[in-house]
Amino acid sequence: MFADPGDETTPVPMTAADALARETPLPMAIEQDPALVMRRLEVWRDEFFAWVRTLASAAVYATLIVTFGFQVARVEGLSMAPTLADQDRLIVNKLQYRLTSPQRGDIVMLYYPVNPDKSFVKRVIAENGDTVRVVDGRVYVNDVPMRDDFVPAEYRSHDDWGPQVIPEGYYFVMGDHRNNSLDSRHWGFVPKKYIIGKVQIRWWPVPTARVF
């Protein structure tokens, strides 16, 4: 009886070529020159250690940058609104004030003078030698009204403070949200050694990222 061509279990007669192929062993891929294999292993080893050295160097450089040059910080609270929002992520330049002094208008990260274990972000309003006073929430530096168009009307305060002369090596700082900020009006002047660095970049959230 002839087999049904559609029957997948029907045996197919073996040809002479098929029989010869079964009897001939396949070449083994691993049968190579041992010296060539060793050279390849050495190349892979060298590439692996090169990557390890690169990653280690990157880690060291990143540590040095964070330790001595820059610091990543997170805003907590609304004292710098609307300039900075709660949970904004910042990059602080810690080298800036090793070469120069803080300037009026700089946004800085500083240690809280009352408890240096804490840190705040504020704006420098005046520097050593300046005379500062606040009249009904309006800030005067050396009897000149400070330009504060970055402070919306609803964020202004109506307090009075001063006048006081800032001593050598100290700074007067405030939050941009004037009626929702603890700052130099409450805990006094900030020594330069307590200023960690200048806020350079807001990198998060991405849609509001900017350089200061």
Q: List, for residues 66-94, the tens digit of each pLDDT value.
A: 666 899 999 999 999 999 999 999 999 99
Q: Which of 181, 156, 80, 112 is nearest to 146 (CA)?
A: 156
pLDDT digits (tens, 9 = 90+) for 153-207: 999 999 999 999 999 999 999 999 999 999 999 999 999 999 999 999 999 999 9
Count of Cβ atoms closer than 10 Å to residue 50 Cβ: 10
CATH number of 69-207: 2.10.109.10
How are strands ordered across the β-sheet holding 161-165?
A: 144-145, 138-141, 131-135, 161-165
> What's the pLDDT at 31?
53
Helix (H) or strand (E) holding 174: strand 170-174
- Among the listed residues 79, 157, 181, 184, the single catalytic one is 79
Among 94, 122, 184, 198, which one carries the catalytic annotation? 122
Annotated catalytic residue 101? no
Say whether pLDDT at 24 is over 90. no
**91-114: pLDDT as tens digits:** 999 999 998 999 999 999 999 999
Identify whether 79 is a catalytic site residue.
yes
Prediction pTM value: 0.70
CA separation for the pair 4, 138 (Å, rounded): 101
Domain ranges for the chain, please list them: 69-207
Region 110-120 average pLDDT: 95
